[in-house]
Amino acid sequence: MRRHNRTALLRRLHVDGPCTRASLATELGLNRSTIKALVDGLAESGVVEERVPRMRTGAGRPSLLVLPQPHAAVVLAVDIRVEQVAIALVGLGGEMLGRNSWNLRGKARQPDEVITHVIESTRVLAEELDVRMVGAGISVPGVVRRSDGFVHEAPNLQWRDIPLGDRLGGVLGVPIRVGNDAEIAALAEHLRGAARGSLDAVYVSADIGVGGGVISDGAALRGTAGYVGELGHMVINPAGRACYCGSRGCWETEVGEVALCRALDLPEGSPRGAVVAELRALSARPERVADRLGEFTEWLILGLVNIVNAFSPELVVLGDLFTVLPAPLVARVGAEVSRRSLVSRAIGGTRILASTMGADVKLIGAAELAFEPALGLV
């Protein structure tokens, strides 16, 4: 019971930040003597410290704030993308202590090269910061078995059957957790982003492919063996384009990066920066949005209606390239999804929001994936 209470207290401080002992007692439903014993023990171990708040209100002696100490527990976060890898060492409380990134081209995209570079860069970063890791979380754009971090398939990386978790864990010597990138981004949004406080939410992102993560009743929906969230391969147009997965008319063939290039009259394979620049230019001319992105918008609405009807979320968070879509388009999508979805009408409407977490969303989510078991070991 003591370990359970200790972990709950650390999770509260890690996710929600500093607070007083009295607030901890109220929020965790524990008596003050229990909170005192827990905080005193953690303070003696250097995991937390107590400090007078900078901003004082009212008369009398202010209550001390209990603050997590970032260096007391540090995890490695890795975000593997098709064109880039980013790593960060993240401390208790969510502070990024240091980071590094590099581009993937040619042979550098091969699994052996990526794994070797991650290990070498992590060692250098850990030595520079003089920290010891207690775990690692890895984000991969593919189908991942959560039990052991086995990457069944990451098609845009051309990876198949890679024991990523075992290989990294064997060398780094810490517990490794590997997850699908969209599922990990959903975790970040749920704990620190637009879906914070929401019990039911869906994260949908457009990169080269389209992925999704589902939060159901406050927890990640993971499915059998951890395989869930391939929303981009929901078939919405049986007469549509062939998809690399072997099917035809998958949602990502109509709303992914290649589909956006078509809608914007850009050559297929245009640099990401060109797509973003064109979308931002279009945002400055809202009267042209319907004309240029009308068909794209309809496919986006159709897919989201199916998602809302299937999962009944309070909100849908749009990520990656979807965050650059013109505001009038997102507003229309939200209104149409609420109008066309039976579930959305029943629950009084489903909010559709663009993520504001930026490019670090998957790094943040990977860190939180690592902290899930690590907080019980601090």
One digit per residue, the tens of pLDDT, for the chain of length 378 reads: 889 999 999 999 999 999 999 999 999 999 999 999 999 999 999 999 999 876 665 555 668 899 999 999 999 999 999 889 999 999 999 999 999 999 998 888 899 999 999 999 999 999 999 999 999 999 999 899 988 999 999 988 999 999 999 999 999 999 999 999 999 999 999 999 999 989 999 999 998 889 999 999 999 888 777 777 789 999 999 999 999 888 999 999 999 999 999 999 999 889 999 999 999 999 999 899 999 999 999 999 999 999 999 999 999 999 999 999 999 999 999 999 999 999 888 888 899 999 999 999 999 999 999 999 999 877
Burial 352-374 (b: 16+ CB within 10 A, else e): bbebebeebbbbbbbbbbbbbeb
CA 27 to chain centre: 26
The string of DSSP codes covering 24-71 is HHHHHT--HHHHHHHHHHHHHTTSEEEE--SS--SSSPPPPEEEE-GG
Q: In the chain, what are the domains?
A: 2-68 (1.10.10.10), 72-184+361-374 (3.30.420.40), 194-356 (3.30.420.40)
Which are the contacts of 120, defined by CB distance < 8 A and separation ≥ 6? none
**Cα 214 from Cα 148, distance rounded (Å):** 20
Report how many helices (DSSP H) and strands (DSSP E) the chain contains, helices first. 13, 16
**Cα 115 from Cα 320, distance rounded (Å):** 24
Nearest Cα to Cα of residue 301 among 274, 322, 277, 275? 322
- Could you tell me the CA-to-CA distances from 60 to 50, 51, 55, 63, 308 in Å, in that order? 18, 16, 13, 9, 51
Name the one residue in this structure whose structure tokens are 């890795």: 78
What is the dihedral angle through the alpha carbons of 172, 176, 180, 185, rounded to the nearest 10 degrees? -90
| Whole-prediction pTM | 0.91
Q: Is the distance from CB of 101 to CB of 85 less than 8 angstroms?
A: yes
**Cα 300 from Cα 132, distance rounded (Å):** 44
- Within 10 angstroms of residue 185's Cβ, the number of other Cβ atoms is 31
**Cα 263 from Cα 295, distance rounded (Å):** 8
Burial 12-42 (b: 16+ CB within 10 A, else e): bbbbeebbbbebbbeebebeeebbeebbeeb
